[in-house]
Amino acid sequence: MEHHSFSRLLLVFSVLALCLGNQGVRCQLSYGYYDSTCPQLYTIVQQHVFAAMRAEMRMGASLLRLHFHDCFVNGCDASILLDGSDGEKFARPNLNSVRGYEVIDAIKADLESNCPEVVSCADIVALAASYGVLFSGGPYWDVPLGRMDGLVANQSGANNGLPAPFEPIDSIIQKFDAVGLNTTDVVVLSGAHTIGRARCVSFSNRLSNFSETDSVDPTLDASLAESLQSLCAGGDGNQTTALDVSSPDMFDNNYYKNLLVQKGLLSSDQGLFSSPEGVANTKDLVQTYGDDGEQFFYDFVWSMNKMGSIPLAGSEGEIRKNCRVVN
């Protein structure tokens, strides 16, 4: 019990340090931020996320990914939600890939009817992601709130700053470091791939013409490679399969267990355990989380709150009335 209390105190100090390290940022994340101004918030978000996942279980993973892709560009400011051809929605990592916008729209509309111009879209995204994890069987955590919505999108930032499924582990570690996250966060947050799906275009590089010496990635289980080749053959790259072949809709530590037996779907996943950079930097953590699901859950909560505290880039923000456009 003391360990958990001490860890939460450390998290509060970490959030404070992130705020102070970004001068001019209006940083006011706190627990219970809307208790007096919009007490219906949690119920409304829960109901919408639960309904969306009842219709399509995968939506929990989609909302989690939406939060991740938002925070890595301009901070956690809901800039990914802004419409426009120059928006982040149309960046290469997000186009025809990131989902869940309509769920956020529905939550925002409901909140505007109950407590208008109070709850930011950025906080809605953060809360929706947490319930997506919870309703998938993952851990519950208190989400500190008080984010502001950004005024501009950053398509080039999304193109260049988001980790790609083909990137070497060293490059991914650098991108995490650029937003204040460390190597442990890389391994922990990659565990979000215990739920969700990926398109063939994200992993087909592993299935043929892999290298001069190997047709198929030698770190990919042979039977899995064969089934993936069958899935992707002759398609346009948009066919999908589960990121976690063992328990695709359950938030657990099977993602890490899969890596131990070369059943990670993406290069960036399997590389955490099998690549030279992974062996040097991340393999031991993969082993730890594969052996201890409780530790994974605990560290996941820590890293999610750390990521969710990446502040809005710049000094201005607002509470959008419509998450798709600035006021």
Q: For 274-303, write each residue's pLDDT tens digit.
A: 999 999 999 999 999 999 999 999 999 999
Residue pair 116/3 in contact by the 8 Å Cβ criterion? no
Contact 123, 144 (CB under 8 A): no
Of 3, 48, 67, 69, which is the active-site residue?
69
pLDDT of residue 4: 43
Which pLDDT belongs to residue 22?
41
Binding positions are 70, 73, 75, 77, 79, 88, 163, 193-194, 244, 252
Closest CA to 71 of 312, 303, 269, 300: 312
pTM equals 0.91
Binding-site residues from annotation for Ca(2+): 70, 73, 75, 77, 79, 88, 194, 244, 252
Domain 21-162 class, CATH top level: mainly alpha
How far apart are the C-alpha atoms of 53 and 85, rounded to whole Å? 29
Tell me whether residue 67 is one of the annotated catalytic residues.
Answer: no
CATH of domain 183-302: 1.10.420.10
Task: Please give the single-letter amino acid code of residue 189.
Answer: L
Q: In which residue are the tokens 């930097």 written? A: 281
SS3 281: helix
Binding-site positions for heme b read 193
DSSP 176-242: HHHTT--HHHHHHHHGGGGS-EEEGGGTGGGTSS-SSS-SS-TTS-HHHHHHHHHHHTTS-S--EEE
Residues of the chain with confidence (pLDDT) below 70: 1-27, 314-315
Residue 172: count other Cβ atoms within 10 Å of its Cβ: 22
Q: How far apart are CA 327 and CA 325, in angstroms?
A: 6
d(CA 306, CA 10): 11
For residue 190, which of 104, 309, 280, 272 has the smallest C-alpha distance?
A: 272
Provide the pLDDT for residue 25: 38
Binding residue ranges for substrate: 163
Q: Which of the 8 DSSP states describes residue 168?
A: -
Domain boundaries, the chain: 21-162, 183-302
